[in-house]
Amino acid sequence: MASDYEKKVDRFIEYLGGGENIRAVTNCMTRVRVRVGDESPVDEGKLRGAEDVLGLVHDRPCTYEIVVGPGKSRKYAERFRQMGFKASAVTPNAKADADWKKKKEDLNARRKESRIKSALKLLGDIFVPLIPGIIAAGLCAGFAALIREIVPDYEDIKIWSLIHNLLALIHVSFMTYLTAWAGYRAAERFGATPILGGMLGMITSLEGISEIASILGLYDAQNPLNSILREGKGGVLAVIVGVFLLSAVEKKIRSKMPESVDVIFTPLLTLLICVVPYVLIIMPVFGFVSSGIIWVFSHLCLSSSLAVRVIAGYLSAALFLPLVAAGMHHGLVALYSVQLEELGYITLYPALAMAGAGQVGASIALWVKAKRVGNHALRSVIAGALPAGFLGIGEPLIYGVTLPLGRPFLTAGLGAGFGAAVVMAAEIGSTTWGPSGILGVFVMTEGSKGALHSVIVYVIGLVVAYICSFIITYVAYKEEELCPDALEARSSESAEKDRHVPEISGSFRTIRHGEAMLLGTAAAEASVSGADAAPESGQTEFRYIVKDETGLHARPAGRLAQLIKAYDCRVTISANGKSVSADSPIELMELGASKGTQLRIFVEGADAAQAASAVRDFMEKTL
């Protein structure tokens, strides 16, 4: 398997413009995040169509998020690291940023990033590498809470006492120094010396801060939580701002410091200059900000009013996935961290975890309707993705089912809101964020009525989200919309409207400005794609015979649809008397293209030549 990943990573590197273009590689639970120096040599089409790639997110300069799914993301990132690619990144240069802006204007396919959105993504970049530790610590805290609940006299039983203490030790090891980890990562992200950022973050949690506060009269001994300054004040928010200051100071000092003494005096002066404003200004200010955040969520998630909690829970889950689609969910990790530091648990995450359950319920409703209309292809896709969905891994259902169909993506959120209302009404909390679905049971152990009660309520919330999403989707999405004949009719009508081009029996053709040119079979076969000689814009058509034993099934259909979305064009594929739009995995599978089936691919638009080349290359490697 290792050699298999080596080959795949080699292809990733090629499509990303070569090793010299890659600046940093990190990963989260389902994505490999790659930062490049220049976007111009990156082949997004081939990257989307690569094996194991479920999707590609490119919504900020010089950053590509390759969705490969849980487990695989870690293996890919590890292979990148073995090849010498580091997690620390450098800021993209002016040329790369200019190329990004030009590309967005040319394609007119992405909105300009706002400063708020960029700031939220920055928080995500800082916390993503911390997620494995966050999940491990949270699971240990959850198991420890269940032990206390199920075995009340665990302290008197050696084996249970030993297990409990080991679990608690792992949890404390992370939570005690969360600010240090955040400082280290922030320094990497801002281009400062990581250990200096870690030191600044660790200072935040040391007892000496409270002693300094006492000397300056900023510490309330009667009620330490009301102190203007105390240990932990400001938390990770203060650390991120403090490290940003530290990075600016360090760069300024280093630019003036002689190289012979740089390693000695630059870090010393940087810390001495930064620690005073950090402790006396940044920590108190962001302490009030953190308190404000906690106050807001306490009055919503922990409100004494049941109605307020129910509404807050419903809206949180109903809006979560659209928030993810808009790329605005990154800032939530800072909110989670603030709650963990201030409360010891998270009140918002249990409600948001219901969003994945909504995807499951909606997909089951689609499966039932697909069965009634004989849509075997869609049923196959859903059946393959549901097990992962039940375990809280939503990408297969989102990319393969609900998002391509559109409306079910929204109805899933509407149904999930009811499950979120249940868990929020019961005031349950989680020990971490990350695990959801059935796997989330082990971290939903916080709440006013004990760990076991919280776990039971969470399971009830999941069931409610499944059922409500099923009902809403079942009512809102008509059976005839999933009927293969209806899909064929719609696709054929769309294809005829777009095409207006006569049938040509050659292997490959290019049409430009209304003038048709038939490229002979020999000429087409002489080129790998046959599209290289095509004009920069216009219409292109070629044929391909499926060679793969399994035909055009769910995975290649999904990858092909993602590949096409990288180009400014329309792609129509015909086979077995049907014509469908190639940007829909479901419609592609409706073709029933088994081994030996001849596909007719028609491409029209500004990027017709490039898209045809990428599609043909994908088919030759995959089908």
Give 47-75 as a DSSP string.
HHHSTT--EEEEEETTEEEEE--TTHHHH
**Which whole number is the average pLDDT over 527-533?**
36
Query: β-pairing, 446-447 with 508-512?
Result: unpaired
**Which whole number is the average pLDDT over 577-587?**
75
Buried b vs exposed e over 44-64: b needs ≥16 C-beta within 10 Å?
bbbbbbbebbbbbebebbbbb
Report the pLDDT value the prediction gives residue 326, as an integer from 0 to 100: 55
Report the pLDDT value the prediction gives residue 470, as an integer from 0 to 100: 95
**Which whole number is the average pLDDT over 593-609?**
82
**Continuous segment of H or E residues that includes residue 35:** strand 31-36
Helix (H, G, I), strand (E, B) or coil at 305: coil
Choose the most confident range, by mean pLDDT, from 25-34, 120-129, 515-524. Answer: 25-34
Q: How far is CA 348 from the centre of its chain?
A: 18
Report the pLDDT value the prediction gives residue 59, as an integer from 0 to 100: 65
Percent with pLDDT over 70 in the chain:
81
Angle, CA of 175, 286 and 295, to the nearest 5°: 80
Query: β-pairing, 31-36 with 22-27?
Result: antiparallel
Contact 435, 139 (CB under 8 A): yes
Q: Which range, of 27-31, 280-284, 379-383, averages the lowest pLDDT?
A: 27-31
> What's the pLDDT band for 485 if we cut at 50, 70, 90?
low
Q: Is the pLDDT of residue 422 over 60?
A: yes
List, for residues 38-85, the tens digit of each pLDDT value: 888 888 888 877 887 877 777 677 888 888 876 677 788 888 888 878
Q: How many CA atoms lie within 13 A of 436 on its CB side?
A: 29
Q: Is the pLDDT of residue 381 over 90?
A: no
Q: Is the pLDDT of residue 525 over 50?
A: no
Report the pLDDT value the prediction gives residue 274, as an integer from 0 to 100: 94
Tokens of 345: 């648990």
d(CA 88, CA 446): 35
Residue pointed to by tokens 């030009």: 102
d(CA 332, CA 123): 9
Report the pLDDT value the prediction gives residue 460, as an integer from 0 to 100: 95
Q: Is the pLDDT of residue 303 over 60?
A: yes
Tokens of 548: 């793969």
Q: Of 56, 14, 17, which is closest to residue 38 (Cα–Cα)? A: 17
d(CA 346, CA 517): 64
Helix (H, G, I), strand (E, B) or coil at 306: helix
d(CA 455, CA 426): 11
Higher model confidence: residue 34 or residue 558?
34
Report the pLDDT value the prediction gives residue 531, as an integer from 0 to 100: 38
Domains assigned to the chain:
2-113 (3.30.1360.60), 176-301 (no CATH), 306-482 (no CATH), 484-622 (3.30.1340.10)
Q: How far is CA 334 from the centre of its chain?
A: 16
Q: Is the pLDDT of residue 408 over 80?
A: yes
d(CA 603, CA 316): 41
Report the pLDDT value the prediction gives residue 140, as an integer from 0 to 100: 85
Q: Look over the chain and give the mean of its residue pLDDT values, rounded to a whole number.
A: 77
Residue type, 585: P
Report the pLDDT value the prediction gives residue 392, as an integer from 0 to 100: 80
Contact 37, 551 (CB under 8 A): no
Q: Is the pLDDT of residue 293 over 80?
A: no
Report the pLDDT value the prediction gives residue 29, as an integer from 0 to 100: 67
**Residue 306, C-beta contacts closer than 8 angstroms, at least 6 positions apart:** 425
**What is the set of active-site residues?**
28
Instruction: Detail the DSSP E strand segments found in 340-483.
Output: 428-429, 446-447
Q: Is the pLDDT of residue 343 over 50?
A: yes
d(CA 430, CA 445): 6
> What's the pLDDT band for 260 if we cut at 50, 70, 90?
confident
Q: Which range, of 114-128, 231-245, 445-459, averages the lowest pLDDT?
A: 114-128
Query: β-pairing, 598-605 with 569-575?
Result: antiparallel
Buried b vs exposed e over 484-506: b needs ≥16 C-beta within 10 Å?
bebbbeebbeebeeebeeeeeee
Angle, CA of 374, 378 and 384, to the nearest 5°: 125
Q: Of 62, 57, 67, 69, which is closest to residue 90 (Cα–Cα)? A: 62
Report the pLDDT value the prediction gives residue 253, as an integer from 0 to 100: 92
**Which whole number is the average pLDDT over 476-483?**
79
Report the pLDDT value the prediction gives residue 104, as an integer from 0 to 100: 46
Q: Is the pLDDT of residue 476 over 80?
A: yes
**Residue 520, C-beta contacts closer than 8 angstroms, at least 6 positions apart:** 506, 507
Q: What is the pTM of this model?
A: 0.56
**Which whole number is the average pLDDT over 521-544?**
49
Higher model confidence: residue 593 or residue 314?
314
Higher model confidence: residue 489 or residue 380?
380
Report the pLDDT value the prediction gives residue 74, as an integer from 0 to 100: 77
Report the pLDDT value the prediction gives residue 278, as an integer from 0 to 100: 94
> What's the pLDDT band for 433 if we cut at 50, 70, 90?
confident
Report the pLDDT value the prediction gives residue 223, as an integer from 0 to 100: 78
Contact 465, 313 (CB under 8 A): no
Which residues pair with residue 429 across a beta bridge? 446
Q: Is the pLDDT of residue 522 over 50?
A: no
Q: Which range, of 17-26, 234-243, 389-398, 454-463, averages the lowest pLDDT?
A: 389-398
Residue pointed to by tokens 């919280």: 454
The radius of gyration computed from the CA coordinates of the chain, to the nearest angstrom, equals 27
DSSP character for 608?
A: H
Q: Which range, of 108-112, 237-241, 393-397, 515-519, averages the lowest pLDDT?
A: 515-519
